[in-house]
Chain A
Amino acid sequence: MANEKVHVRQISKEFIVSSKGIEDRITALQDVSFSVQEGEIIALTGTSGCGKTTMLRIIMGLENQSSGIVEVGGKQVTGPGYDRGMIFQHAELLPWRTALENVEFGLEVKGVSPQERREAAKYYLELVGLKDAMNHRPTQLSGGMKQRVGIARALAIDPDVLLMDEPFGALDAQTRETLQDELLKIHEQTKKTIIFVTHDLDEAVLLADKVVVMFPDPGRIHEIVDINIQRPRNDVIAIKGSDEFNQKRYYIWKALKTAASSTVGV
């Protein structure tokens, strides 16, 4: 288990935005380093604009860093790859495809035979509890169901690392909690390494082994907080009542609160 899966080394990212001929540099990320062990769940949290999405996109290979290195499984990231699976905030299903066909998408692009990918897609849809909605189109699915399809689609390519950008952020509180439970179960079953972005501190502490607390302007890591709650985390009620959960939650909340109030005055 003590096997390093993702290594983010001194990543910096500058965006150059020009409006009315004036060029402006935004330091979205400054010297960000952290590592993730195999099978770990890591949460990135912090106020809007502190570079969480940018960090995730760099790990996925959708964005190029200005400097620094990202390694996944010992290999340097230069672009998207099947060792990483992305789950988008709004699921981003293709509306003309059924749930099953959406899950097949990655495998199809990868060149897996029709029969094989159909089997795999069915298996992962069942894993996320959507076997009955297999032939539904996205318009017929609720927000929570869409996100389950999005998770199944990423799992179907059997990546080592799952990257999730506020995966449950657009869902109502109840659906969000159901999907958090679901994700914990899927993690128990698949042991995937997961990096996810969230604004929801309950979610961060409940799911993650480490919470990366980020500050904005420039986007940087303030602190990495270890969450010492044992797995499997089946008993959510007990966890949410535990001292560890509440202390860590309060600790992170306080750190973010201080950062927010210090920037308000600027």
Chain B
Amino acid sequence: MEGRSTVITTRKDQVSKINKMSSKRKPIKDIYIIIISLVLIMLIWEIFGRQINPIFASYPTAIFFAFFDLMEGGTLVTAFGQSVQPLAVGYLLAAVVGIPIGLLIGRYRIVESAINIYVIAGYATPLVALIPLFVLWFGLGFGVKVAIVFTLTIFPIIINTTDGVKAVPKTMIEVGTAFVASQSAIMRKIIIPATIPHIMTGLRLGVGKAVIAMVIAEFFTSISGLGGIIINSGNNFDTAKMFVPVIILMILGVGLTALVGKLESIVAPWQDKMTKKHE
């Protein structure tokens, strides 16, 4: 949807006017408000958290100390590595396999008819239900985590890529045809660049899915990594310790999502200027 409307708006010649209007917000003030809000929430959490039985809830300073506890023996660093490696491998594999599949489904009717039903089914099915089967296939180690991350991440990537290809205006493709471009040149020089914003959306949504997939994998398979710490601390009623990986996962998710967003403005710098017009 995003791509379609941006392409249409390029035809209007009011760009400069609208661009000027959109830069009125002052970023410095935003940062102050964010900091004040964070401090306030922490404070409230600290005050109320201290009054509750530490089995049921925790509070920032306790979590902070638990963090150092976990850092000391290297437990946290090891767990982080155990989690991030399959996350990275599964996610990248999903991108490398998912993007070409999405491009082909979007571009060719035959491919769409042949495999789109599986993509839709895969996207709609709660794939978590397949984990016991995955354990049978891949065991309890690195492989099964990769497989689960891959399976949960690939579908949003495929679907967004497909949507992107379909949103490419016919006239834009016709420019290629009129200049006698081959099928592969049309794909490389028109479809892919025009679809990049949608691909990046898929990759961004994929990050969230991948992190969830990783934690679920660790809950249900080898009980290792950050998910393992959550389960073990929970079983020991050590709620403060349990919060440490939760917060790390949160920061990881936010950080990776921001990273993909950054990547988007590097690979599709023209898109920045175009999306600004929607503000």
Residues of A near any B CB (own CB < 8 A): 60, 62, 79-82, 86, 88, 90, 92, 94-96, 105-106, 108-110, 137-140, 142-143, 157, 170
Contacts and interface: CB of A to CB of B under 8 A. Distances in A.
B16 to A, nearest CB: 8
A108 B178 contact: no
A96 B181 contact: no
Interface string B25-61: 0000000000000000000000000000000000000
Contacts of B171: 88, 90, 92
Contact of A62 (B16, B177, B270): B177
Contact of B15 (A62, A105, A140): A140
B180 A82 contact: yes
- By secondary structure, the A interface counts as loop
20 contacts: A62-B174, A62-B178, A80-B178, A82-B180, A90-B11, A92-B172, A94-B175, A94-B190, A95-B270, A96-B194, A96-B270, A96-B271, A105-B179, A109-B179, A110-B180, A139-B10, A139-B270, A139-B274, A140-B16, A170-B11
Contacts of A62: 174, 177-178
Interface of B: 7, 10-11, 13, 15-16, 171-172, 174-182, 185, 189-190, 193-194, 196, 268, 270-271, 273-274
Given A96-B271, A109-B176, A109-B179, 17 more contacts: A88-B174, A88-B175, A90-B11, A92-B171, A92-B172, A92-B174, A95-B274, A96-B193, A96-B194, A96-B270, A108-B189, A109-B181, A109-B182, A110-B179, A139-B270, A143-B11, A170-B11
Nearest first, the 3 closest Cβ-Cβ pairs linking A and B are A106-B179, A86-B178, A109-B181
A109 B15 contact: no
Nearest to B274: A139
A170 B13 CA distance: 11
Contact of B273 (A80, A82, A137): A137
A161 to B, nearest CB: 12
B253 to A, nearest CB: 29
A90 B175 CA distance: 11
Contacts of B271: 96
B193 A94 contact: yes
A105 B189 contact: yes
B132 to A, nearest CB: 46
A80 B177 contact: yes
Residue from B179, B194, B196, B268 whose CB has the most chain A CB atoms within 10 Å: B179
Residue from B13, B16, B174 whose CB has the most chain A CB atoms within 10 Å: B13
Contacts of B274: 95, 139
A212 B96 CA distance: 53
A248 B185 CA distance: 46
Nearest to B6: A95
Contact of A143 (B13, B16, B178, B185): B13
Contacts of A143: 11, 13
Residue from B189, B190, B270 whose CB has the most chain A CB atoms within 10 Å: B270
